[in-house]
Amino acid sequence: MKQVERIAVLRGGPSAEREVSLRSGAAVARALAALGHDVREVDPEPGRLALPPGTTAAFLALHGTYGEDGQVQAELEALGIPYTGCGVEASRLAFDKVLTRQACEAAGVPVARGHVLVRADEGWPEGWRPPVVLKPSRQGSSVGLQFVDDAGGWASALAEAFRHGSEVLMEERILGRETTVGILAGEALPVVEVRPRSGAYDYRNKYTPGATEYFCPADLPLAVTQAVQGAALGAFRAVGGRDYARVDVMVTGEGRPVVLEVNTLPGMTETSLLPKAAAAAGLDFGALCQRLLSMALERRRR
């Protein structure tokens, strides 16, 4: 007979991605309850984390600041509660796009040409030509993402990116096919291709129903699929990931993978990209949630 666990599903939180996190948490809670677990939903406050008495593990359905940057992980470790996903240091590193980029470069993982900006009034960098992408270094889920197709749009785009943080990563914009790779227990899941119906895969297209098409497994040659999965695994290992993550990868016209970022707590609704990839590998949503939970519980037993 399977042991019933008291699981705290952490969702909501203080970040710009709160609403998405609430949806992820609700889906996870339903799935775990259907599996027979005693599930309690918790909307955590930074520095004041309180879990229901008897909690045996925490399932993290948080996104963005506090949830994905190592803060809640450190609080859970101080409480002695096992939790799903990456540890403190890997979460901190992967949430910072500049540090992730540095870790990938050191490990030989392909990334786009980049430059770090620290002032909102900086002029167009010498030696660069558009198009480029501006990314707040410590935000998730396309928050503050800006595409600059000509130098005339530089000042307004830079100001908007700096509205979401004190450091901005500028990268060469890679034109090609946008893919994402779920990593589960050290293995790459089938590749998902993301195709916005118009424009780029920004926050609006990511969370507006019907705005983007998804194809899984992606229709790529086998060699390209393997290269994309290899780059994703390389990035996951470079940041010290464990259990699971989702790695976003552009594929150039020549079939070369370029890693964009590592998401250590990706969306967990039944239509999110990691569950789509898991389903293509034969793992339904409930089984995926149980697998993630089981890895955390195994750490407690060890």
How would you list the strands of the sheet with 212-215, edge to edge?
212-215, 187-196, 176-184, 244-252, 257-263
Nearest to residue 136, comparing CAs of 110, 92, 170? Answer: 170
Q: Which residue do the tokens 């799935």 mark?
A: 31
- Catalytic residue (one of 5, 41, 68, 248): 248
DSSP state, residue 111: B
Distance of CA 170 to the CA centre of its chain: 19
| Strand partners of residue 7 | 39, 57
54 catalytic, yes or no?
no
Catalytic residue among 11, 177, 242, 246: 246
Establish whether 150 is a catalytic residue: no
Q: Among residues 17, 69, 75, 243, which one is catalytic?
A: 17
Assess whether 207 carries a catalytic annotation. Answer: yes
DSSP of 44-109, one letter per residue?
--TT-----TT--EEEE---STTTSSSHHHHHHHHHT--BSS--HHHHHHHH-HHHHHHHHHHHT-
Nearest to 65 by CA among 157, 144, 171: 144
Asked if 141 is an active-site residue, the reply is: yes
Select which of 15, 137, 142, 263 is catalytic.
263
Q: Which of 69, 267, 294, 299 is catalytic?
A: 267
CA 12 distance to own-chain centroid:
16
- Please identify which of the residues 21, 87, 261, 272 carries the catalytic annotation: 261
Class of residue 38 by CB neighbours under 10 A (exposed 0-12, middle 13-18, buried 19+): middle
172 is an active site residue: no
Q: Which of 21, 24, 137, 141 is catalytic?
A: 141
Reading the block at residue 30, the tokens are 């339903």
Q: Would residue 153 show up in a list of annotated catalytic residues for this protein? A: no
User: Which letter does DSSP use for residue 208 in this model?
Assistant: S
Examine residue 131 and say whether the peptide bond preceding it is cis (omega within 30 degrees of 0): yes
The catalytic residue among 40, 43, 122, 207 is 207
- Rounded-to-integer distance, Cα 113 and Cα 40, Å: 44
CB count in 10 Å sphere of residue 149: 11
Tell me which residues are annotated as active site.
17, 141, 207, 246, 248, 261, 263, 267
